[in-house]
């Protein structure tokens, strides 16, 4: 792990990461932190990931949480301090991104985009790990690694979210984030321990994933989905209005041009100099195009929800089949 | 009598000294002046510029003092102008000599002038009696002085801090004269003025107190002991005065004593004369005599004058001509009228003139109080009551006498029958009633004073009754209407227990109750009245009275027939207030009768804004956005209803909240999952939310908390707890015992709670039941079987619950068709998605501007949306019945209205009947290759529910088709769902 002190590919502009390799220790620390902090309240837990880049693989070997209410502590100082301390105990001390907890996958937000953007512009190889404590509690470990796509980086750099720019940058809600394959890797020693522990595990444990009570989750997901759909609907409405205004202005402009042209033709016939055509821009100030960032993020969020609901439903149906089979067996 | 008037004339020279404001008695100090002036003249021959100028100034100042003493405002004004001019001339000298400081004597002059102007100005009575010239002079002087004094404000303030310090120059004579005037002032002004002199900085507070002081003076204007005390104290107070002053002090004392004696004598004389002429009433004798008698005051008859109707009438006219004029002393006017009345009575001039004078006396008493908003004094009020009573008695006794507004001055006939007198008794009585209300409003509603005042109501009512009797005999219908309304307004808010007894049958129906009387009076007004206002008010009072006596149906019908709701906004504010009161009373009546919905509707408008207090004119609410002006506040205060007519606001709110609870809680239970649930009562929801916001909800204390806690209990169908929370000792004391038939109301309320709890229970928990036994329900809610049956039947008919009654087993069988929470959520989501798709398609429609990049985005979102609906609905439907599926199907089709073309295509390629069993191959081929296979699968999914028969027939081929498309997750899921739903 530490042997391949991988050469960073920052020199050639873009570093390409295909896979994130997560150390068991780091994962456990993330889980612990998120469960401690995110339990019961809606606040998100966040922290820094530490690790290395090896070729196209990002190895995350350690992490530490952000302080919770850091009003008096300067976060940057805190981070540097932490990293210095970790270096002293000979742990990887290079920041390679950050992690955040989520609830029901509601993590696609402007804040996430902004933070990940700043990470990725300062530290090329940064990833964000999204961890869902609720889902994990139900028996499905849910941790995902995301990076902004190069297109997204370009657009965010420009801060230009007009439809034109998005079109030019070929950015849609699907291409905003790219998910990166995540592998959990443990040392052999740990693996041995785990197999040993497995022996001790009581038979009734670890079967939560067969839980049939699905209604409340679906309920909540639907509510969130509805909220987002409402937002998106509003955005669409806004855009619609903007379009209408723009079309109207275009029309007016067109009319004006025609009139001016006719006038100029007349003037030419009379031998007078033609009127200038520059003042048209003064008269019709172009309406500022609507930023589409919010709409895009909401769409991304909806897409995410839909994927989740779909996944959840497939799983639930599977369980129902199992349950049905068991019922029949009993008869 | 005549002597009295003469006397007052003879007094005129010193009458000013009687007034509190007059500074100095004339003659005395002026002689001192003359003397000193002469001395000055002779002594000084050569004078510096300063001296010359100062001399000039001082002369004018002396003049000013003289004029002040004489109260010659016109000359004072010109002198003031002179002194200003002279001072401006002297200014260069002052600059040189005094270093720019204004000489102290000048400032003293200004300050004194200020005091003088202020005191004269405040003495309104005195001001009125001034001659025109003087009055004009005073106002001009006041204005001019104000303008001028601005420049010297600082100096005057410094002076006022220490007014008694000697003036810088040799101002001895000035000082003496000062002291003179001071002490004399004290003599004359009494304590108030004295205070002013000693502490001039307090003048502002004095201004407000001024009127009181005036009144005091009225009462004890002859209390000389008081003044002499002041005198001594004043000389004590003026301790640090230079020795020169002391010289004068002695003979001044002597002078003062002389003065005192003289005055005492005069005072006694006056008292004596007063006693002589005083008639029956003592209250009237307190009026100060001789004070500021106007010079143009009309004289009473001379000894030899012939006293007959014409002369008295003339006299009366003379007196009344002064009415309303600025300079008129109102007290004195009343006085004179009394005089005249006695004359008329002594000479037996006939009832007409007597009535006329009485009438005028009453009017003058009304006029006495210049401000409309303040109540009249109690002694005047008493007097007015007596007078009006007398007047009415006389009118009744003399049927040949007609009094009315239609009689003009010319047609008046005072000497011979039939007498005709101009005037309106109605107006007098109306005014009396208003004064009575004002009197009540002026006292603290919780004090004994209020009760004492309220006792007069009997007398007021008696007078109104008397007037009513008189008018009924000889009056125009319009007048009768007005009297009737007066009477009604004293009747309508009073509850008569006898009427209740009559309703029960304990009293014979022939007994006359207020109800019957109201009926009679109001009906007369309905028929005869031709002004809308009287009729409106009568209707409202009538409804109010009926509601008060639990005549719900009559009251409601009258309210509905009157159609007041539409027009009430155009009427005047008191009527609108009455309307509000009536609606509240009607609502309370409805509640007592168990008509919860009607009660709620009637009270909704009053309660919704949280401004019940304001709407019922039972108090002012603090305003949040902007302060009221004093004018507004005054107006609002005038509108207030006297306390004894108030409606208990807490009871009102409680009744409203309980009504809202009984309606809202079942409604909330029934529409729990509704996206667009409407609030029936905002204020009720507000209360609920308030309690939810609390982190810890303790046991209920206030009325509101009780209702909220009861609502929560009812929400769970716990009717017993709900009832206990509403009907307990605390609530009884607060609310329910205030009703006349408290027990009946409580019983009704208990019943309502049981019924509505049953409904709530059924709404909330019906989804966990397959069937419920009605017997069990009737046990649970302790309701008779028939009632439970009735309630449930009603719910079924109204389609509030999807169920049917199984008579043989007396069970309620649920149809289980209400969508579960997830299903209703899905439906909501479908709605929202529909909106979204609409919006998106509108964007797409606007092609000219549309760019390709956006298209990608838009289409992307649409597909995301589609996925969401398709898939969520599937899961939702894992547990649905066919009814919901059909409904969802409709929704679905609404979501994709534009895909109609596809559907047609798809229908075209689907065979309506399988040609032969198993012969589906070509169709499947066709379907599998069809570009719209995704939509097809969706379409099949939608149609599945209603056309179950075909689906069964189609099942094997569909299955195989789906299997062809297994790579599509959607299709896979559909198939799964299909199977699940068939389980």
What DSSP line would sit under B753-803, residue for residue? HHHHHHHHHHHHHGGG-SEEEHHHHHHHHT--HHHHHHHHHHHHHTTSS-E
Determine the pLDDT at residue B840.
79
- Rg, chain B, Cα only: 46
A9 located within any domain: no
A213 located within any domain: no
B860, A172: Cβ pair inside 8 Å?
Answer: yes
Same domain as A31, residue A149: yes
Using CA atoms, how far apart are residues B394 and B401, in angstroms rounded to an integer? Answer: 9
- A142: Cα within 13 Å, side-chain hemisphere: 22
Using CA atoms, how far apart are residues B188 and B43, in angstroms rounded to an integer? Answer: 36
Using CA atoms, how far apart are residues A292 and B854, in angstroms rounded to an integer? Answer: 9
Look at B169 and A89; give whichever has higher pLDDT.
Answer: A89
Q: How do the domains of chain B map onto residue ranges?
A: 49-167, 200-276, 308-475, 477-576, 649-765, 847-982
Residue B402 phi, psi dihedral angles, 5° rounding: -115, 130
> How far is it between the farthest Cα atoms of chain B?
153
Residues of chain B with pLDDT under 50: 1-44, 168-244, 247-250, 270-298, 848-903, 905-906, 909-920, 928, 930-932, 934-935, 938-939, 941-954, 966-967, 982-983
Nearest to B23 by CA among B152, B196, B144: B196
**Structural tokens at position B158:** 């410094």
**Structural tokens at position B94:** 């002052």
**Structural tokens at position B670:** 């029934």
Same domain as A162, residue A56: yes
| A42 three-class SS | coil
| A129 three-class SS | strand
In what side-by-side order are the strands of the sheet with B803-806?
Answer: B771-773, B811-814, B803-806
With b for 16 or more beta-carbon neighbours within 10 A and e for fewer, the B107-132 pattern comes to bbbbbbbbbbbbbbbbbebbbbbbbe
Nearest to B70 by CA among B8, B120, B124, B123: B120
Using CA atoms, how far apart are residues B951 and B770, in angstroms rounded to an integer? Answer: 28
Average pLDDT over residues A295-312: 85
| B810 three-class SS | coil
Look at A308 and B280; give whichever has higher pLDDT.
Answer: A308
Residue A160 C-alpha, separation from nearest chain B C-alpha, in angstroms: 14
Whether A220 contacts chain B with CB within 8 A: no
Partners of B820 on chain A (C-beta within 8 Å) are 215
A247, B846: Cβ pair inside 8 Å?
Answer: yes
Determine the pLDDT at residue B587.
92
Whether A240 contacts chain B with CB within 8 A: yes
Among all chains, which residue has been given the structure tokens 């046991």? B699
Using CA atoms, how far residue A293 sits from A105, A114, A161, A162, in Å, is 19, 11, 6, 8
* CATH classification of the domain holding A154: 3.40.140.10
Using CA atoms, how far apart are residues B944 and B981, in angstroms rounded to an integer? Answer: 11
Using CA atoms, how far apart are residues B112 and B109, in angstroms rounded to an integer? Answer: 5
Total structural domains in chain A?
2
Residues 6+ apart with CB under 8 A from B707: B654, B657, B658, B661, B687, B725, B726
Using CA atoms, how far residue B700 sits from B665, B682, B695, B732, B736, in Å, is 19, 21, 14, 14, 17
Using CA atoms, how far apart are residues B677 and B500, in angstroms rounded to an integer? Answer: 43
Q: Mind listing the pLDDT tens digit for each residue in B412-442?
A: 766 666 677 777 778 888 888 888 888 888 8
Using CA atoms, how far apart are residues B138 and A47, in angstroms rounded to an integer? Answer: 86
A192 located within any domain: yes
Same domain as A191, residue A262: no
Same domain as A86, residue A180: yes
Same domain as A302, residue A185: no
Residue A244 C-alpha, separation from nearest chain B C-alpha, in angstroms: 8
Determine the pLDDT at residue B582.
92
Please state whether beta strands A46-54 and A95-101 pair in parallel, antiparallel, or not at all (unpaired): antiparallel
Using CA atoms, how far apart are residues B107 and A65, in angstroms rounded to an integer? Answer: 81
Residue A77 C-alpha, separation from nearest chain B C-alpha, in angstroms: 38
A163, B822: Cβ pair inside 8 Å?
Answer: no
Q: Beta-carbon neighbour count of residue A171 at 10 Å?
A: 25
DSSP A22: E
- Decide which of A146, A172, A207 is a domain's last residue: A207
Q: Among all residues of chain B, which has the CA nearest to that of A228?
A: B832
A212 located within any domain: no
Residue B249 phi, psi dihedral angles, 5° rounding: -60, -40
Q: Mind listing the pLDDT tens digit for each residue in A228-259?
A: 888 888 888 888 888 888 888 888 888 888 88
ipTM value of the model? 0.77
Residue B699 phi, psi dihedral angles, 5° rounding: -65, 145
**Residues belonging to chain B:** 983
A214 located within any domain: no
A98 located within any domain: yes
Using CA atoms, how far apart are residues B696 and B91, in angstroms rounded to an integer? Answer: 78
Partners of B976 on chain A (C-beta within 8 Å) are 314, 317, 321
B821, A313: Cβ pair inside 8 Å?
Answer: no
**First-to-last CA distance in chain B?**
118
Determine the pLDDT at residue B590.
92
- Rg, chain A, Cα only: 27
Cβ(B552)–Cβ(B587) under 8 Å? no
Cβ(B380)–Cβ(B368) under 8 Å? yes
Angle at B155 between CA B150 and CA B157, to 5 degrees: 90
Whether A167 contacts chain B with CB within 8 A: yes
Partners of B864 on chain A (C-beta within 8 Å) are 173, 299, 302-303, 306
**Structural tokens at position A173:** 């809600």
Q: Give the model's confidence band at A38: pLDDT under 50 very low, under 70 low, under 90 confident, else very high.
A: low
Same domain as A274, residue A166: no
Provide the residue range defining the domain that includes A280.
Answer: 229-330
Using CA atoms, how far apart are residues A224 and A108, in angstroms rounded to an integer? Answer: 13
Using CA atoms, how far apart are residues B871 and A169, in angstroms rounded to an integer? Answer: 32
Determine the pLDDT at residue B379.
78
Q: Mind listing the pLDDT tens digit for each residue in B633-667?
A: 777 777 888 888 888 888 888 999 999 999 988 88
Cβ(A40)–Cβ(A133) under 8 Å? no
Residues 6+ apart with CB under 8 A from B444: B450
By Cβ distance, the residue of B826, B833, B856 closest to A229 is B833
A255 located within any domain: yes
- Peptide bond preceding B418: is omega within 30 degrees of 0, i.e. cis? yes
**Structural tokens at position A164:** 């034109």
Q: What is the DSSP string of B578-600?
A: HHHHHHHHHHHHHHHTT-HHHHH
Q: Among all residues of chain A, which has the CA nearest to that of B970?
A: A310
Partners of B836 on chain A (C-beta within 8 Å) are 229, 232-233, 236
A217 located within any domain: no
Residues 6+ apart with CB under 8 A from B829: A222, A225, A226, A229, B868, B869, B872
- Decide which of A147, A172, A207 is a domain's last residue: A207
Whether A287 contacts chain B with CB within 8 A: no
Please state whether beta strands A127-131 and A95-101 pair in parallel, antiparallel, or not at all (unpaired): parallel
**Residues belonging to chain A:** 331
Tell me the three-class secondary structure of B879-921, residue by residue.
CCCHHHHHHHHHHHHHHCHHHHHHHHHHHHHCCCCCCCCCCCH
Residues 6+ apart with CB under 8 A from A118: none
Among all chains, which residue has been given the structure tokens 């009020």? B381
Determine the pLDDT at residue B753.
92
Chain A contact probe: residue of B830, B832, B855, B864 with most A CBs at under 10 A: B864
Whether A128 contacts chain B with CB within 8 A: no
């Amino acid at each position: 792990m530490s042997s391949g002190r991988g050469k960073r590919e920052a020199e050639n502009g873009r570093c390409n990461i295909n896979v994130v390799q997560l150390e068991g220790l780091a994962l456990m620390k993330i889980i612990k932190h998120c469960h401690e902090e995110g339990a019961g309240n809606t606040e998100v837990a966040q922290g820094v990931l530490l690790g290395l880049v090896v070729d196209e693989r990002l190895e995350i070997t350690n992490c530490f949480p952000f302080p919770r209410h850091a009003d008096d502590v300067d976060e940057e100082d805190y981070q540097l301090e932490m990293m210095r301390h970790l270096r002293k105990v000979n742990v990887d001390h290079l920041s390679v991104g950050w992690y955040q907890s989520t609830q029901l996958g509601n993590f696609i937000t402007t804040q996430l985009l902004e933070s990940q953007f700043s990470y990725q512009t300062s530290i090329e190889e940064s990833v964000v790990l999204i961890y869902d404590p609720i889902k994990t509690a139900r028996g499905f470990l849910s941790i995902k690694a995301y990076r902004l796509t190069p297109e997204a980086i370009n657009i965010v750099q420009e801060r230009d979210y007009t439809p034109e720019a998005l079109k030019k940058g070929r950015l849609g809600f699907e291409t905003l984030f790219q998910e990166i394959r995540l592998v959990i890797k443990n040392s052999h020693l740990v693996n041995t321990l785990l197999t040993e522990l497995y022996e001790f595990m009581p038979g009734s444990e670890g079967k939560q994933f067969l839980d049939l009570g699905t209604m409340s989750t679906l309920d909540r997901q639907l509510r969130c989905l509805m909220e987002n759909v409402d937002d998106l609907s509003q955005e669409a409405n806004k855009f619609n209005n903007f379009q209408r205004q723009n079309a109207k202005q275009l029309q007016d402009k067109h009319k004006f041009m025609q009139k001016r042209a006719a006038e100029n033709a007349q003037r030419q016939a009379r031998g007078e100099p033609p009127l200038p055509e520059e003042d048209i821009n003064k008269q019709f100030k172009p309406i500022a195009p609507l930023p589409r960032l919010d709409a895009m993020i909401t769409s991304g969020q909806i897409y995410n929800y839909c994927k989740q609901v779909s996944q959840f439903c497939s799983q639930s149906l599977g369980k129902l089949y199992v349950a049905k089979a068991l019922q029949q067996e009993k008869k | 009598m005549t002597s009295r008037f003469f006397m007052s004339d003879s007094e005129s020279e010193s009458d000013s000294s009687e007034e509190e404001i007059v500074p100095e008695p004339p003659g005395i100090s002026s002689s001192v002046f003359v003397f000193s002036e002469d001395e000055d003249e002779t002594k000084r021959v050569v004078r510096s510029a300063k001296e010359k100028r100062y001399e000039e100034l001082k002369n004018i100042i002396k003049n000013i003092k003289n004029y002040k003493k004489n109260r010659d405002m016109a000359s004072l004004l010109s002198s003031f102008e002179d002194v200003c001019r002279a001072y401006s001339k002297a200014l260069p000298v002052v600059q040189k000599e005094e270093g720019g400081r204004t000489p102290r004597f000048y400032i003293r002059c200004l300050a004194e002038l200020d005091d003088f102007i202020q005191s004269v100005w405040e003495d309104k009575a005195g001001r009125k009696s001034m001659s025109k010239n003087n009055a004009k002079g005073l106002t001009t002087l006041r204005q001019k002085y104000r303008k001028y004094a601005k420049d010297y404000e600082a100096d005057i303030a410094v002076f006022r801090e220490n007014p008694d310090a000697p003036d810088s120059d040799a101002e001895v004579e000035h000082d003496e004269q000062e002291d003179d005037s001071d002490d004399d002032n004290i003599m004359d002004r009494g304590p108030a003025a004295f205070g002013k002199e000693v502490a001039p900085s307090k003048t502002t507070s004095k201004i407000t107190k001024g009127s009181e002081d005036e009144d005091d003076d009225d009462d004890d204007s002859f209390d000389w002991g008081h003044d002499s005390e002041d005198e001594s104290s004043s000389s004590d107070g003026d301790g640090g005065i230079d020795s020169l002053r002391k010289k004068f002090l002695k003979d001044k004392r002597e002078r003062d004593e002389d003065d005192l004696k003289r005055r005492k004598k005069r005072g006694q004389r006056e008292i004596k004369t007063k006693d002589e002429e005083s008639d029956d009433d003592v209250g009237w004798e307190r009026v100060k005599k001789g004070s500021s008698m106007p010079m143009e005051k009309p004289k009473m008859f001379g000894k030899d004058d012939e006293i007959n109707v014409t002369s008295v009438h003339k006299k009366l006219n003379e007196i009344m001509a002064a009415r309303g004029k600025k300079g008129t002393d109102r007290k004195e006017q009343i006085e004179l009228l009394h005089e005249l009345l006695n004359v008329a009575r002594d000479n037996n001039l006939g009832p007409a003139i007597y009535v006329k004078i009485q009438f005028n006396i009453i009017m003058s008493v009304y006029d006495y109080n210049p401000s409309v908003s303040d109540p009249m004094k109690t002694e005047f009020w008493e007097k007015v009551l007596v007078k009006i009573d007398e007047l009415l008695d006389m009118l009744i006794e003399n049927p040949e006498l007609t009094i009315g507004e239609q009689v003009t001055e010319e047609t008046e006939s005072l000497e011979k029958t039939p007498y005709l007198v101009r005037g309106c008794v109605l107006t007098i009585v109306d005014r009396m009633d208003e004064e009575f209300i004002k009197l009540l409003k002026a006292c603290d509603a919780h004090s004994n004073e209020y009760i004492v005042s309220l006792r007069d109501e009997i007398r007021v009512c008696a007078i109104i009754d008397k007037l009513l009797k008189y008018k009924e005999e000889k009056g125009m219908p319009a007048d009768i209407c007005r009297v009737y309304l007066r009477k009604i307004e004293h009747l309508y808010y009073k509850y008569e227990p006898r009427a209740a007894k009559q309703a029960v049958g304990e009293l014979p129906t022939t007994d006359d109750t207020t109800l019957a009387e109201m009926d009679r009076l109001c009906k007369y007004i309905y028929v005869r009245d031709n002004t809308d206002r009287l009729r409106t008010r009568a209707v409202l009072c009538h409804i109010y009275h009926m509601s008060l006596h639990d005549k719900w149906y009559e009251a409601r019908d009258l309210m509905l027939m009157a159609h007041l709701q539409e027009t009430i906004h155009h009427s005047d504010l008191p009527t609108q207030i009455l309307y509000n009161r009536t609606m509240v009373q009607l609502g309370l009546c409805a509640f007592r009768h168990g008509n919860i919905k009607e009660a709620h509707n009637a009270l909704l408008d009053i309660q919704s804004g949280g401004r019940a207090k304001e709407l019922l004119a039972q108090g002012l609410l603090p305003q949040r956005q902007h302060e009221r002006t004093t004018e507004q506040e005054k107006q609002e205060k005038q509108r207030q209803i006297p306390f004894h007519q108030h409606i208990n606001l807490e009871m009102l709110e409680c009744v409203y909240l309980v009504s809202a609870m009984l309606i809202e809680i079942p409604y909330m239970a029934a529409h729990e999952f509704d996206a667009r649930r409407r609030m029936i009562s905002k204020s009720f929801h507000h209360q609920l939310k308030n309690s939810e916001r609390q982190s810890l909800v303790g046991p209920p204390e206030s009325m509101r908390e009780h209702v909220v806690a009861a609502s929560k209990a009812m929400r769970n169908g716990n009717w017993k707890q709900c009832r206990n929370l509403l009907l307990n000792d605390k609530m009884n004391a607060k609310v329910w015992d205030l009703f006349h038939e408290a027990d009946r109301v409580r019983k009704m309320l208990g019943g309502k709670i049981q019924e509505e709890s049953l409904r709530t229970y059924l709404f909330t928990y019906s989804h966990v039941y397959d069937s419920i036994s009605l017997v069990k329900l009737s046990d649970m809610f302790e309701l008779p079987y028939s009632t439970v049956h009735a309630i449930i039947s009603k719910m079924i008919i109204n389609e509030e619950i999807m169920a049917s009654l199984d008579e043989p087993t007396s069970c309620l069988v649920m149809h289980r068709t209400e969508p579960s929470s997830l299903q209703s959520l899905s439906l909501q989501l479908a709605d929202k998605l529909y909106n979204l798709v609409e919006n998106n398609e509108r964007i797409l429609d606007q092609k000219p501007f549309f760019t390709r990049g956006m298209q990608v985005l838009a289409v992307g979102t649409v597909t995301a949306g589609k996925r969401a609906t398709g898939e969520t609905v599937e899961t939702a439907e894992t547990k649905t019945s066919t009814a919901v599926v059909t409904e969802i199907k409709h929704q679905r089709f609404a979501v994709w209205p534009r895909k109609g073309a596809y559907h047609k295509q798809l229908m075209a390629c689907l065979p309506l009947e399988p040609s032969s069993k198993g012969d589906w191959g070509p169709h499947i081929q066709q379907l599998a290759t069809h570009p719209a296979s995704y939509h097809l699968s969706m379409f099949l999914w939608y149609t599945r529910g209603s056309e179950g028969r075909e689906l069964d027939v189609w099942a094997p081929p569909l299955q195989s088709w789906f299997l062809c498309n297994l790579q599509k997750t959607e299709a896979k899921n559909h198939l799964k769902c299909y199977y699940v739903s068939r389980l």
